[in-house]
Structures are given as C-alpha cells and as structure tokens.
Amino acid sequence: MTSSPPIKRRNATKTRARILAAAQACFARSGYSRSGIREIAALADVSSPMLLRYFGSKAGLFEAALTDAVRIDELLQVDRTQFGAHLAKLFTDAALDLTPPAMIALSTGDDEASEITRRVAEEQLVRPLAAWLGTPDGRVRAVEIFMLSTSFVLYTRQLPLLPASGPSRRKLAAWLSETVQAIVDAR
C-alpha cells in the first residue's frame, strides 16, 4: 500500500493578505486599468481562479485592496494639536509605503475604479475625519485635508517636482503641516 502525499492546506487569512498586498502594489504602480488579474495572481503566488474565488472580480479586488490600505483610525489617535505635523512627517518619510494615495490618483482614468475610489474615500476617510473634526463644516474640512494629502503625496512621490530632501522639501513639509493644522483648528 502506498501512502499519498499529505494534503497541503492553504491558510486563507495569509493567502488573502498576500493577494491584497500584491494588488495594492500593482494598482499603486500601474493603476487599475493597466493591472491584470493574472499579474496580481502571479505576484501573490496564487492562481487567477483562486484570486477570483476570494474577491469575485477585479473591481471587488480593487475595493478590498483600497479599503485594506486605508488606515485612518490610527491617524485619528494623534493629539489634535499635532495632527498637521504628524501628517507631514508621515508623508515625508521615504521609508513609509504610501500606497493609498497612489491607488487613488491612478484610479481616476477608469470609471469603475473611480466610482469605487469615491465610495471608499467617502466611507473610510471623509466620514471618519469629518466626525473627528466636528463642526463647523467638518465634512468640507475633511475633504480639504483629503485633497491636500493626496496631491502632496502625488507630487512628492509619484511625480516629484522637488528634490527628495533638502531645504525645499522641508519648506514644503512645513507648508503642509501648517495648512492642515489650520484646517483642523478652524472652529
């Protein structure tokens, strides 16, 4: 009697996390329309059918990847008087992977991805930030911070218009810190 090889069990949680990380990397690098299911599956070391079993479609994968990448709850734990400085420090930390702004910026060229991004941004970023900011005009102020943050990351990471370090970058970081803090402090 020959024994069959042991059945290799897949850890669903780890597999899902690997797929999300691969999707985030692809969507942040190439955008929604230029990222393919096969490419993401290969990067995650899974088959395309398995990826689709987890997320249903490319749109489902994009939404899950963007939702997973957005971590506003941690940001809202910062002392309110230091929010602008903290945000500027995060966005200028070259070692920090800033996937969400790249995914957001690169989703605008596709109608389906753009709608997913709008919905995820509203639910996961704007609403919680607006509630944290409070009145007056919490939602408008949250959108202002979201717009500044996304464009700051876009033009310092994806399309850098200034050197990655030095006086000009420090001046830009100080501007972001002061501008965001003024929005937070508006009452």
Range of the domain at 142: 71-185
pLDDT at 55: 97
Distance CA 97, CA 116 (A): 21
Question: Is the same domain home to 118 and 164?
Answer: yes
Question: Is the same domain home to 100 and 129?
Answer: yes
Question: Is the same domain home to 165 and 81?
Answer: yes
Does residue 2 lie in a domain region? no
* Phi, psi at 160, each rounded to 5°: -60, 125
pLDDT, one tens digit per residue, over 18-48 is 999 999 999 999 999 999 999 999 999 999 9
pLDDT at 126: 96
Does residue 6 lie in a domain region? no
Question: Is the same domain home to 62 and 81?
Answer: no
Tokens, residue 66 = 């963007």
* Phi, psi at 24, each rounded to 5°: -60, -45
Side-chain-facing half-sphere of 149: CA atoms under 13 Å: 30
Does residue 84 lie in a domain region? yes
Does residue 167 lie in a domain region? yes
Domain end, chosen from 30, 47, 68, is at 68
pLDDT, one tens digit per residue, over 140-167 is 999 999 999 999 988 888 788 888 778 8
Question: Is the same domain home to 109 and 155?
Answer: yes
> What sign has the CA pseudo-torsion 117, 118, 122, 126?
positive
Distance CA 50, CA 70 (A): 24
pTM: predicted TM-score of the whole model, two decimal places: 0.85
Distance CA 124, CA 73 (A): 9
pLDDT, one tens digit per residue, over 40-99 is 999 999 999 999 999 999 999 999 999 999 988 888 999 999 999 999 999 988 888 888
Does residue 87 lie in a domain region? yes
Q: Which amino acid is at 10?
A: R
Angle at Cα 89 formed by Cα 88 and Cα 90, nearest 5°? 90
The total number of structural domains that make up the chain? 2
Helix/strand number for the chain, H first, E second: 11, 0
Distance CA 62, CA 10 (A): 22
* Phi, psi at 106, each rounded to 5°: -80, -5
Distance CA 100, CA 77 (A): 19
Tokens, residue 157 = 């990471």
Res 1 pLDDT > 70 = no
